[in-house]
Chains A and B, each alone.
Chain A
Amino acid sequence: MTKLLETKDLCKYFGGLRAVDGVDMGIDEGRILGIIGPNGAGKTTVFNLIMGYYKPTRGEIKLNGERIDGLEPHRIVRKGIARTFQIVRPFTGLSVLENVLVAYGHRYYARSGSLWGRYGRASHEALEILGFTGLARRKDLPASTLPIGFQRRLEIARGLALNPALLLLDEPAAGLTEVEIAELKGLIRNIVEAGITVTLVEHRMSFVMDICENIIVLDQGKRIAEGDPETVANDPEVIEAYLGSKEGEDAED
């Protein structure tokens, strides 16, 4: 299977804290990968490294064999990776439709000439994405007035408008009700069916076990296990990391 994204010996140290410590991982094209681990395992840091918000202390990140580490976030977006935020960050002063248009515009922002085009012309495409994510009826509402479930959909809608090859979802199920989670699963499966590779970071084990075909477990910045849900769930090291053997730390969810 071809690797869409690969990291080699990926490290990020904050002073003495080794947030990510020598992670090798590969993201298979067309599949759903889950990255799990206890609090502080370095999951979100991995996302931030891939997206270019942090520069790796060491190691490399390759997208389709091309190095992307060290690039600015807006350049990485143009290379075909999109992300959603764990704590939703809608542009609150803009409508739902305008939020998606901001993302859709990524293809125009690079060249100064195309900045002078009218964004209204892309409304049709943006509406299609809103339809796909179940937000079409709410297109004119200010993004700030959406309930949390729909704000998460909006995050995903913006991600899709970036036309990515790889979509990174940072805790997409956090704070959602069971019904909303079921809908989210359907949406994620539809996204993968549309040919977009999805990688998600998640706390809810049931969610990850259900939807992911492959799982990577991080603990204290290191990769401690990888495999399909069943293998990972029965891995003694994973169980120890989650339940804690000595310190008796709480398991998440």
Chain B
Amino acid sequence: MAIGYYLTVGVFMGIFSILTISLNILTGYAKQVSLGHAAFFGIGAYTSAMLTTNYGLTFWQALPCVIIITAFIGTLLGLPSLRVSHDFLVLSTIGLNFIVGGVFRYFSFFGGSMGIIGVPPPRMFGSPLGNMGYFLLTLAFLILTILTSYYFSKTWGRLAMEAMGEDEIAAKSMGINVPKFKTYAFALSSAYAGIAGALWAHYVGSVFPGNFSFDRSVAILSMLVFGGMGTIRGALLGAFLLRLFPELFRFIQDYRMLVYGGILVVMIRFQPMGLLGKGSVLWNGLEWFARKIRGGPIQEGTT
């Protein structure tokens, strides 16, 4: 197969890795389970597509606007989380996904069901990016995403989100302003998702309401749960493997949703921390192995 195929697979893996890392902030750190993440992805894609096709901005000029607009809309869509939590929040994120999809479909401002076509590829050094160029661009954004979210994972902001996600009442008594941190989690998470959306729109060249439907949200959550909630390594592995499987085994393609659904159920039942999450069997094994190689003392019971 031509190199172009591998580059395409690579670009989509990169985009979904960014998406899964973005969901990790909201669902992994702040424990706000979202089954509507495709909405944020779509808002980023539509914003960038419309700014570049209707308003004549370049990809690079549109990008800061995309980040600001998705963060802002993410904050608005996160407002229900201040009132509802747990299962009810999950339900309302599903509802939000359908609302956002519906707005794209039924308002002619957004192109209706015809979507937006002719989204130009980004230009660098005076010429439009080819397949290889786009792959490198995606890779660069993925690396930036990993680095910034890794830095974030070491900050007070993440610690407060994690505490809030675990126990809101205790978090309040630690001086944590719960509504503020929920809002931050939604804003930050959707800003990253917006970048992924812009990358998608300019690679595919068109956006349609169906690209950002509920099944896509399920897919993103499956990737995070499969790889390991709450960790960047898990988000990366989940996105990588769940994009890879359908490519390796073509027959899975048509049953993709079945596979994603099945993975969600099996993982939640047997390995809720995912493959590489904190405390998962595989990760504990790797840590044990690493200690053994380094020759350090093997501590029992520090699971």
Q: A117 at interface (Cβ–Cβ under 8 A)?
A: yes
* A119-B154 in contact (CB<8A): yes
**B170 on the interface (CB 8 Å rule)?**
yes
* Pair A105/B172 contact, Cβ less than 8 Å: no
Tell me if B163 and A94 are in contact (CB < 8 A): yes
Q: Give Cα A119–Cα B169 distance, bound, in whole angstroms.
A: 22
A192 at the interface (CB under 8 A from B): no
Interface string of B190-210 (1 = CB under 8 A from A): 000000000000000000000
Q: Collect the chain B residues with CB atoms within 8 Å of residue A53's CB.
A: 169, 172
Q: In angstroms, how far is the closest chain A Cβ from the Cβ of B149?
A: 13
A107 and B303 alpha carbons, distance in the complex (Å)? 31
Contact across chains for B170 and A141 when beta carbons are under 8 A apart: no
- Give the number of residues in B that approach A within 8 Å (Cβ atoms): 29
**Do B175 and A74 touch across chains, with their CB atoms under 8 A apart?**
yes
Note all chain B residues with C-beta closer than 8 A to A103. Answer: 174-175
The contact size tier of chain A is 35 or more
In the complex, whether B167 has a CB less than 8 A from a CB of chain A is: yes
- Please, what's the 1-or-0 string for B265-303, where 1 marks a CB less than 8 Å from any CB in chain A? 000000000000011000000000000000000000111
The answer for the CA separation of A162 and B170 in the assembled complex, in Å, is 13
> What is the bound-complex CA distance between A98 and B157, given in angstroms?
13
Q: Decide yes or no whether A13 CB sits under 8 A from chain B.
A: no
> In the assembled complex, which residues on chain A have CB atoms less than 8 Å from the CB atom of B176?
74, 102, 106, 109
A106 to B172, CA, bound (A): 10
Give the tally of cross-chain contacts (CB within 8 A): 100
| Residue A32 at the chain B interface, CB threshold 8 Å | no
Contacts of A83 in B (CB 8 A): 173
Cα A145 to Cα B162 in complex, Å, equals 18
Contact A98 B159 (CB under 8 A): yes
Q: Are A162 and B159 in contact (CB under 8 A)?
A: no
A158 and B163 CA atoms in complex are apart in Å by 12
Known contacts A115-B156, A119-B154, A120-B154; A89/B302 CB under 8 A: no
Question: Is B174 a contact partner of A77 (Cβ separation < 8 A)?
Answer: yes
A117 to B156, CA, bound (A): 6
**Chain A CB within 10 Å — which of B157, B174, B177, B302 has the most?**
B174
Q: Which residues of chain A have C-beta atoms less than 8 A from B152's C-beta?
A: 116
Interface residues of A in 34-65 (CB under 8 A from B): 51, 53
Does the CB pair A119–B172 fall under 8 Å?
no
Residues of chain B lying within 8 A (CB to CB) of residue A74: 172-178
Q: How far, in angstroms, from A93 to B31 measured CA to CA in the complex?
A: 11
A and B contact pairs by CB, cutoff 8 A, 10 listed: A53-B169, A74-B172, A82-B173, A91-B171, A102-B174, A105-B156, A107-B175, A109-B156, A116-B152, A119-B155
Closest 8 CB pairs of A and B: A106-B175, A115-B157, A89-B170, A77-B175, A73-B172, A102-B163, A91-B166, A108-B156
Q: Give A residues with C-beta under 8 Å from B.
A: 51, 53, 72-74, 77-78, 82-83, 85, 89-94, 98, 101-103, 105-110, 114-120, 140-142, 145, 158, 162
Residues of B participating in the A interface, judged by any CB pair closer than 8 Å: 152, 154-157, 159-160, 162-163, 166-167, 169-178, 181, 184, 230, 278-279, 301-303
